[in-house]
Amino acid sequence: MHLYTHSSCLRHSAGPGHPESPARLQAVLEALDQDRFAMLDRIEATRASYEQLARVHSPELIALVHTAAPTQGYAQLDADTAMSPDSLEAALRAAGAVCAAVDALIDGSATRAFCAVRPPGHHATHATPMGFCLFNNIAVGAAHALARGIERVAIVDFDVHHGNGTQDIFWRDPRVLYASTHQSPLYPGTGAEDETGAGNIVNAPLPPASSSFAFREICRDLILPAVARFRPQLVLISAGFDAHYLDPLANLNLGAPDYDWITRELVDIARKHAHGRVASSLEGGYSLTALRQSVAAHVAALMD
């Protein structure tokens, strides 16, 4: 199994006190620096190319992210989203990591991959960076898979926030299934059940304070059957861990065993339809304790 990351992802900063901090990725890498993860093939993420980015983002968004990065201090793109001098490099490497993972899975050098990268991506729409996100890493990777000849890509997003950007990008593209479970109401305010795109969008909102039982039930009843019916040739995961009960930015009650469970369920579907191919990319998760526990459970399940 491949692990993609890059040192620039540790240097990107959105400002002092911002919840999307370098400490998040440091916690993830510490969690994976255990004997049971010694077999991970650790690979430096490459940069996404302009062509890869332009498959999902407007020229204006790409230009904005390239030109807004300051030489010192911070550049504020919106109330939540800022760039530091290292942010452009980090964003290019984060999107590039998912493309490299997709290549490895298609070319057969790996069956599973985890991209330990930041900034996260799933709020970035076709035309707007937002919600801590600059480029939509998982969408860039999915579009790259389509360009490589994959006909059906399933993206499963279990971040506590709805991936409005991913939904926006693939709203009318039946080659991509986007299936999300998330807290509602909560930022960004999208992800209602009746948002179905071209029949390829599946939203499973959960009310605040929902339990592990409710999460697993809605996955069994809605998310997993939809993914299985789609018969994906590649499974991608927007792996946010902020539905954990310790997370300070939301109010769901999942624990590390839930991330183990949903990962194993998705791997089973991938085995049946996608030659076992699963690539996952880090999204949210703002309790460092929860991140360590959850990422370890998720990656261990991918490895198994």
CATH code, domain carrying 265: 3.40.800.20
Query: 10 Å Cβ neighbour count for 208?
Result: 12
pTM, to two decimals: 0.98
Give the distance, in angstroms, between the CA of residue 187 and the centroid of all CA atoms in the same chain: 16
Taking the C-alpha atoms of residue 176 and residue 1, their distance in angstroms, rounded to an integer, is 24
Residue-level pLDDT at 283: 99
Structural domain range at position 173: 2-303
Residue-level pLDDT at 119: 98
Residue-level pLDDT at 68: 97
Give the chain's residues under pLDDT 70. none
Q: What DSSP assignment string belongs to 119-162? A: S--TT--SS--BTTBSS-HHHHHHHHHHHTT---EEEEE-SSS-
Residue-level pLDDT at 242: 98
Residue-level pLDDT at 124: 99
Residue-level pLDDT at 272: 98
Catalytic residue positions? 123
197 phi-psi bin (left φ>0, alpha ψ -120 to 50, beta other) = left
Residue-level pLDDT at 191: 98
- The pLDDT tens digits of the residues spanning 6-48 come to 999 999 999 999 999 999 999 999 999 999 999 999 999 999 9
Overall residue count recorded for the chain in this entry: 304
How many structural domains does the chain have?
A: 1
